[in-house]
Amino acid sequence: MAARTALTRRCAALTSFRALSSPGILSHSRHLPRRFLATPSDQSTDASNGTAIVMLNMGGPGTTDEVGDFLSRLFMDKDLIPLGPLQKYLGPLISRRRTPKIQHQYSEIGGGSPIRKWTELQAREACNLLDRIHPSTAPHTPYVAFRYANPLTEDTVKQMLADGVSRAVAFTQYPQYSCSTTGSSLNELWRLSKKFDPENKIKWSVIDRWPTHPGLVEVFARHIEESLATYPAGEREKVVLLFSAHSLPMSVVNRGDPYPAEVAATVWAVMQRLKFSNPYRLVWQSQVGPSAWLGAQTATTVEEYIKKGLTNLLLIPIAFTSDHIETLYELDLEIIGESKQPGIKRAESLNGDPIFIRALADIAKAHLEGGGRTSPQLFLRCPKCTSERCREQKAFFRRQQEEPTAAS
């Protein structure tokens, strides 16, 4: 891309990102990720010696047939949607009623969520790179652990035990921490470890957030610059940048969830990198149900700005690193498509961008270099948290860095 080439000149501090962003370096695959690569004969294993890198994310249905199960798991998750003592009945009921609508949305974006494809690629390429830039903890074996879709966290943990893994890094793929996303995945990991690994054969550490990592900031900034380059020169600097993140219910915000502040930190860092070249706002999308959610809403903001005569708007998904229903359906089809304004566009998601892969490898390297210590921030509960699951999860991950493993 011409814009990308021109813009690389800007950031001398990020030479290493540039140097490693050529496809040649990233396409070199030394070891084969057993969790998800092709045929059983491909499945090399020496995970028992090195370090498992476990990408945590929510996942998405691969086909429209999987939407029902996906929603059912999602509505049964007390850390995401607490429905009280009747959750066991209400969860499946709500998900059954919601399934046709969401199936339609997935059918409109090609029949399924691309999140598995992207996460597998990101995990594989980041591990290949890590082997080269941090050989002392190699081989780094990629695993994917999704909360609501295949490959489910339970299957991945079982596979890791079967592979003889003794050291693992739980690497959240949500750059900003929320107890409803990363927190939920960690609660699930704690539960599964208790159930399937009572002897603590696997020693875990956690990368729990990375909202302002320079590589993350760089790749967002470049995608914005590439989109801005598609506007006529005279209009470019007036384009309003609308950073859009998945919203949170106000009950979660008021419990003291760190996510809104961390999303804002990412936005600020990206704007700093762009030298505040354009006016911008942080807005919130994908509210579900009748309760109060954090605003301003993305869809309403677009409508109001159009009414105010602002028709050059660039939407930037800032809290999720791969494409998914919120970008491909909600932003592209519902908001941008229906606006019928050629000046309303979206910046590309990070997906397989080599600069992003390099950032992932860099984050893991820094974590391993520092002795694989979990950040103290993970151990601080929300001021209004009353969840025993959170308490036990944090105690579990704290013990992980204090106790020797069964294997050691």
Question: Which active-site residues does the annotation give?
Answer: 213, 362
Determine, following the binding rule CB under 6 A, whether residue 326 of this chain makes contact with ligand L6N33NVT: yes
Phi, then psi, of 281 in degrees rounded to 5: -145, 150
Determine, following the binding rule CB under 6 A, whether residue 320 of this chain makes contact with ligand L6N33NVT: yes
SS3 string, 88-103, reads: HHHHHHHHHHHHHHHH
Residues of this chain, 41-70, that bind ligand FES according to CB under 6 A:
none
Query: Cβ–Cβ contacts within 10 Å for residue 186, how many?
Result: 27
Smallest separation (angstroms) from ligand L6N33NVT to the CB of 216: 14
Query: Cβ–Cβ contacts within 10 Å for residue 363, how many?
Result: 21
Determine, following the binding rule CB under 6 A, whether residue 381 of this chain makes contact with ligand FES: yes
Binding site partner of 335, from ligand L6N33NVT, ligand FES, none, Cβ cut-off 5-8 A by kind: none
Options 192-200, 201-209, 309-317, 320-328: segment touching ligand L6N33NVT (CB under 6 A)? 320-328
Pull the structure tokens for residue 248: 């949170």
Cβ neighbors of 78 (< 8 A, separation 6 or more) are 87, 389
Residues of this chain, 152-191, that bind ligand FES according to CB under 6 A:
179, 183
Determine, following the binding rule CB under 6 A, whether residue 71 of this chain makes contact with ligand FES: no
Determine, following the binding rule CB under 6 A, whether residue 56 of this chain makes contact with ligand L6N33NVT: no
Smallest separation (angstroms) from ligand L6N33NVT to the CB of 63: 12
Cβ neighbors of 251 (< 8 A, separation 6 or more) are 291, 292
Determine, following the binding rule CB under 6 A, whether residue 118 of this chain makes contact with ligand L6N33NVT: no
Determine, following the binding rule CB under 6 A, whether residue 74 of this chain makes contact with ligand L6N33NVT: yes
Interaction mask 123-152, ligand L6N33NVT, x per CB under 6 A: ------------------------------
Phi-psi region at 292: left, alpha or beta (left = phi > 0; alpha = psi -120 to 50): beta
Phi-psi region at 401: left, alpha or beta (left = phi > 0; alpha = psi -120 to 50): alpha
Which of the 8 DSSP states describes residue 349? P
Report how many residues bind ligand L6N33NVT under the rule CB under 6 A.
25
Residues of this chain, 284-303, that bind ligand L6N33NVT according to CB under 6 A:
288
CA 240 to centroid of chain Cα atoms: 25
Interaction mask 198-237, ligand FES, x per CB under 6 A: ----------------------------------------
Which residue's structure tokens are 């210590």?
A: 373
Q: Which is nearer to ligand FES, 219 or 252 (CB)?
A: 252
Q: Which is nearer to ligand FES, 256 or 342 (CB)?
A: 256
Residue 395 in 3-state DSSP?
helix
Binding site partner of 385, from ligand FES, ligand L6N33NVT, none, Cβ cut-off 5-8 A by kind: ligand FES
- Beta strands (DSSP E) in 41-181 are 51-57, 140-146, 167-172
Smallest separation (angstroms) from ligand L6N33NVT to the CB of 242: 16
Q: What pairing do the DSSP bridges indicate for beta strands 203-207 and 140-146?
A: unpaired
CA 407 to centroid of chain Cα atoms: 31
Nearest to 144 by CA among 211, 59, 227: 59
Residue-wise burial string across 207-225, b where 16 or more C-beta atoms lie within 10 A, e elsewhere? bbbbbbbbbbbbbbbbbbb
Interaction mask 385-404, ligand FES, x per CB under 6 A: x-x--x--------------
* Residues binding ligand FES (CB under 6 A): 179, 183, 255, 381-382, 385, 387, 390
* Residues binding ligand L6N33NVT (CB under 6 A): 58, 60, 71, 74, 80-81, 98, 102, 113, 115, 174, 178, 180-181, 246, 248-249, 252, 259, 288, 319-320, 324-326
